[in-house]
Amino acid sequence: MSLRSGPRTLARANGSIFGTIRRISGINAVRTYANGTSNGKEDTTHFGYKTVKKEDKEKLVGDVFSSVASSYDVMNDAMSLGIHRLWKSHFINRLDAGMRPGSNRALDFLDVAGGTGDIAFGLLEHAQKKYNDTSSTMTVADINPDMLREGEKRYLNTKWNDGSDRVKFLVQNGEIMDQIEDNSKDVYTIAFGIRNFTNIQAGLNTAYRVLRPGGIFACLEFSQVENPALDYIYQAYSFSLLPLMGQLIADDRESYQYLVESIRKFPKQEEFKGMIEKAGFYVPEKGYENLTFGVASIHIGVKL
Amino acid sequence: MLASSRVVASTKLWTGLALQKRQFVLTAATTAVGALLFSENNRLANQMERGQLHRKDARESNSEASQPFFKRKEPNYPGHIPLYNFEKLLMVLGSSIGAYTHPEKNQFIVALGESTAIAPVLRRLQHQMLSDPVGRQILHERPRMTSTSLNLDYLKSLPENTIGRTYINWLEKEGVSPDTRVAVKYIDDEELAYVYQRYRECHDFYHAITGLPIIIEGEIAVKVFEYMNIGIPMSGLGALFAPFHIKPSQRERLYSIYYPWAFKSGLNSKPLINVYWENILEEDINEFREKMGIEQPPDLRALRKEYFAKLKAAKKIV
């Protein structure tokens, strides 16, 4: 510590010592314990780039989604420049779910983490337009009641709200799903939800449990961009612009920082395909379809 | 002659055809071999060999995740988010558009203030504080305005003409509470971040000693006053552009009464950043104003009431 100007050094010394103490007890403490085993605690997991206890992650994710619920769609449009609509409609078209003409049993759709309901209503719309299917049921499950409330609000204004009780909204934890029986669903969709699960494998196992034999598991999720040059641009965009948009448009920088960090932490395409196979699904070659160079990816599994 | 030309022609044709055939064969062979060598399975196998395909342990810090392309510098203080220069520039652009179109939303003012408060400006303020004994004390002790440092009940118990009492009276008149101001996140130097935080927290006191209300006109007037005295760029931008949003009658009032007052008082008064508000709550406010050289502007709410009463009366007659 060189003596330059007396008061300034004093202020700096006090300021920086105090600052150092605060700093050590603050962020960096979490960073040094990035590897759970070195700390002796086996029950930690990642929350974006931070390390948190497993039992805390659910609440932290819940807080994130409660705070983004009201501006969710606006932010999705702003962040993906509207491309998320293309992804979702391609997902629905490819899934091509609907009771075929000549069939005698209506299908049961389950949309997990479907809070605001865009996939759910899109599936019903597709089934009705393409197959004239007006009897398949839809259950929208989400662990976060605020997101689900947004979905219910939207539902009230759609044509599916015709008193026929086709659409149900349930607050459910995707890893447990206690209100959904085994072998009771034909289509299980989860769009941009599974990366928030505390235990992704448990979520996949539960998906296997609730699907009927012949049922399809379809997951649309952010994934890794394979091309390094594009990945560079993608990362620069997502780490600098997305939190800035969250800060200015939604007044919530932390939630969108969590979003981009959780995207990085999600398993890559092949690894996630392995996890789906581990849950018991049959994964047809190649098992995943990259959208927009790998920014998003559709994973499919079939329960045999 | 005809025969030889035919031979020449057919030779040319034959070599032309052979060239084309050779090109086709080479291209087809290259494509086939390439497809065999660089197929999807081979590419994935290469990646697996390099260990880039699967993560062995979900907790293990993956080499890619730990050295991502985009990395931020280490924070200098808790809550600090170090931004790159292009991000700061984008924040200036985005928040200035937002603050102009939606001045009531706090996030734009916060972002605009922090991104335009560049280091030279804050360093000048820091030097101003360091040249004054009270300023040095503030930098040394780093007081933050919390519910304990500004105990409202205690303020209410103070005699009428004190600074603390004036402050609580103003809070009640405007119907606001001294809620904690947003913490500074984007200013890189730790001490400069504290200087800006101090500026942000003292804003309500500037309102209280001048008596200006929280309506947009009052805020603009305070911003001009602040800019003339303290020099934060965001307040200057507000002073320049915010009047374009308000009604012409309000603008006229601002330009004719409050801007001149703000220029005069702001420039002639002592630096407000060096006032240790928490320690002078019991001082007499008129003495304080005289000492600092601050004149009180005309009561804005009273002026507005007069103006609306005049309008109503005019309409009644007409």
Name every chain B residue with its beta carbon within 8 A of the beta carbon of A26. Answer: 78
Query: By CA distance, what is B59's nearest residue in A?
Result: A35
Which residue in the set B44, B87, B106 is minimally distant from A244, CB to CB? B87
pLDDT value for A122: 94
Q: How far is B33 from chain A (nearest CA, A)?
A: 22
Q: Do B190 and A274 touch (CB under 8 A)?
A: no
Q: How far is A191 from chain B (nearest CA, A)?
A: 22
Which residue in the set B53, B95, B142 is minimally distant from A270, CB to CB? B53
Flag whether the ipTM exceeds 0.95: no
Q: What is the pTM of this model?
A: 0.74
Q: Do A35 and B60 touch (CB under 8 A)?
A: yes
What are the pLDDT tens digits along chain B (318 aa)? 566 666 666 666 768 888 888 999 999 999 999 988 888 888 888 888 887 777 666 555 555 555 677 888 889 999 999 999 999 999 999 999 999 888 888 889 999 999 999 999 999 999 999 999 999 999 999 998 877 778 888 888 999 889 999 999 998 888 888 777 889 999 999 999 999 999 999 988 898 899 898 888 888 999 999 999 999 999 999 888 888 888 888 888 888 999 999 999 989 999 999 999 988 988 999 999 999 888 888 888 888 888 888 888 888 764
The sheet with strand A167-171 has its strands ordered as A167-171, A137-142, A108-112, A185-191, A211-222, A296-302, A288-291
Q: Rounded to whole angstroms, how far apart are CA atoms A9 and A15? A: 9
Per-position b or e across B102-123, b if 16+ CB within 10 A of its CB = ebeeebbbbbbbbbbbeeebbe
Within its chain, how far is the Cα of A78 from the centroid? 17
Q: Do A235 and B68 touch (CB under 8 A)?
A: yes
pLDDT value for B2: 62
Q: Which residue ranges of chain A lie beneath pLDDT 70? A: 1-42
pLDDT value for B127: 95
**Using DSSP, how many helices (H) and how many strands (E) does chain A show?**
12, 9
Which residue in the set B59, B139, B190 is minimally distant from A37, CB to CB? B59
Joined together, the tokens standing for residue B76 give: 């200098």
Query: Does residue A255 contact residue A68 with C-beta atoms inside 8 Å?
Result: yes
Q: Is A74 at the interface with chain B, CB within 8 A? A: no
pLDDT value for A282: 96
Which spans in chain B are helix H?
2-37, 40-49, 63-66, 85-101, 106-116, 119-130, 133-141, 152-156, 163-174, 190-210, 216-229, 233-241, 248-253, 259-268, 285-292, 300-317
What are chain A's domains? 9-68+226-264 (no CATH), 82-223+266-302 (3.40.50.150)
Strand partners, A140: A111, A169
Name every chain B residue with its beta carbon within 8 A of the beta carbon of A44. Answer: 59
Q: Do B108 and A248 touch (CB under 8 A)?
A: yes
Q: How many CB atoms lie within 10 A of CB B317?
A: 6
Q: Do A46 and B59 touch (CB under 8 A)?
A: yes
pLDDT value for A252: 87
pLDDT in tens, A211-252: 999 999 999 999 999 888 899 999 999 999 999 998 998 888
Contacts of A193 (CB under 8 A, 6+ apart): A112, A113, A114, A142, A174, A221
Instruction: Mark which residues 34-73 of B lie under 8 Å from A by CB.
Output: 40, 44, 53-55, 58-61, 65, 68-70, 72
Q: Is A8 at the interface with chain B, CB within 8 A? A: yes
Q: Do B69 and A235 touch (CB under 8 A)?
A: yes
Contacts 24+ apart (CB under 8 A), A279-283: A279/A201, A279/A204, A279/A205, A279/A207, A279/A208, A280/A205, A280/A208, A281/A204, A281/A208, A281/A217
Between CA A41 and CA A46, with CA A44 as vertex, the angle to 5 degrees is 145
Within its chain, how far is the Cα of B46 from the centroid? 47
pLDDT value for A126: 95
